[in-house]
């Protein structure tokens, strides 16, 4: 379970140059704050040479480098300071495609975020690319 | 703040240019706990990964698109659905143009759909997006 603190919301809001006062004052979280809240925190010696970690949901794959992908998120309510939130991540797709400079691996992870009463907060489907 | 009665399909959202500095990229990495070296280690990024410079984070560009929508909606607006994908890399020093356009208005539900984009200086859409919002 993760706690959305006013301080972390303010740090995210400053880092992304938000302009709405509800975000800058740490009252309500910007829509993509959950990316920070649920980014996997792992030991530095578990990171690959490019400074990231292999998603523990993935099997061993011959694609050493991560690239950005995309997301689709459904929101049920905003995250607010003081929210305790639970996230469940599920690997929901995995496939290979031929890119311009060789094979690419695509995978989809569904992130299901609920509050501590079990009410839905958001559902995100992320597609990421490995090469 | 946007009012549902005054919104029409084709309306443009207030566009904005972003020219992030290395400090923007650093603080964004710090805020989300991202150690990906392509966002801060130029020698590694160009020599090991073959990029032409430090890469601007994809999710940061996604955040700019969400700000384009939320800034247009104002303090009382609600985001219902949001999506984007990163199609091409953008680099430290680039100026990126972020904007959007209304694609559907449903006055009965108060919901509005918009298409969003991040364009590079060449005019290419490097990150398309879309959102569905409830106007307050």
Q: Inform me whether the pLDDT recorded for B132 exceeds 70.
A: yes
Q: How far is A75 from chain B (nearest CA, A)?
A: 5
pLDDT tens digits, B24-60: 999 999 999 999 999 999 999 999 999 999 999 999 9
Residue B34 lies in a domain: no
Q: Count CB-CB contacts under 10 A for residue B62.
A: 26
What kind of fold does domain A2-130 have according to CATH?
Thiol Ester Dehydrase; Chain A (3.10.129)
Q: Are B115 and B9 in contact (CB under 8 A)?
A: no
What is the average pLDDT value for chain A, to the nearest integer?
93
- In A, minimum Cα distance to B64 occurs at A16
Cα separation, A86 vs B100, in Å, equals: 32
pLDDT tens digits, A24-50: 999 999 999 999 999 989 899 989 888
**Residue range of the domain that includes B120:** 4-20+58-134
In sequence order, what are the beta bridge partners of B127?
B118
Residue B108 lies in a domain: yes
Q: How far is A28 from chain B (nearest CA, A)?
A: 10
Of A20, A47, A69, the CB nearest to B75: A20
Q: What is the 3-state secondary structure (H, E, C) of chain A?
A: CEECCHHHHHHHHHHCCCCCHHHHCCCECCCCHHHHHCCCCCCHHHCCCCCCCCCCCCCCCCCCCEEEEEEEEEECCCCECCCEEEEEEEEEEEEEEEECCEEEEEEEEEEEEEECCCCEEEEEEEEEEEC
Contacts of B48 in chain A (CB under 8 A): 50
CATH number assigned to the domain comprising residue B111: 3.10.129.10
Q: What residue ranges do the domains of chain A occupy?
A: 2-130
Q: Are A70 and B86 in contact (CB under 8 A)?
A: yes
Residue B49 lies in a domain: no
pLDDT tens digits, B60-93: 999 999 999 999 998 888 999 999 999 999 999 9
What was the pLDDT predicted at B1? 62
Number of domains in chain B: 1
């Amino acid at each position: 379970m993760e706690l959305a603190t006013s301080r972390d919301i303010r740090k995210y809001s400053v880092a992304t140059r938000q302009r709405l006062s509800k975000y800058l004052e740490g009252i309500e979280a910007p829509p993509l704050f959950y990316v920070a809240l649920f980014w996997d925190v792992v030991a530095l010696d578990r990171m690959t040479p490019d400074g990231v970690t292999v998603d523990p949901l993935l099997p061993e794959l011959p694609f050493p480098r991560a690239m950005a992908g995309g997301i689709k998120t459904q929101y049920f309510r905003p995250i607010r300071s003081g929210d305790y939130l639970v996230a469940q991540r599920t690997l929901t797709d995995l496939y290979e495609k031929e890119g311009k400079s060789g094979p690419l691996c695509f995978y989809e992870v569904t992130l299901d975020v609920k509050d501590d009463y079990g009410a839905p907060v958001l559902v995100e489907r992320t597609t990421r690319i490995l090469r | 703040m946007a009012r549902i009665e005054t919104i029409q399909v084709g309306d443009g959202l207030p566009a904005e240019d972003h020219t992030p500095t290395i400090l923007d990229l650093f603080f964004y990495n710090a805020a989300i706990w991202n150690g990906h070296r392509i966002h801060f280690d130029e020698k590694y990024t160009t020599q090991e990964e073959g990029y032409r410079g430090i890469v601007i984070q994809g999710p940061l560009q996604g955040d700019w698109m969400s700000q384009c929508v939320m800034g247009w909606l104002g303090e009382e607006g609600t985001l219902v659905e949001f999506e984007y994908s990163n199609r091409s890399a953008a680099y430290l020093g680039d100026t990126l143009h972020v904007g959007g356009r209304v694609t559907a208005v449903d006055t009965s539900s108060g919901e509005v759909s918009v298409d969003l984009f991040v364009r590079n200086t060449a005019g290419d859409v490097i990150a398309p997006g879309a959102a569905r919002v409830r106007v307050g």
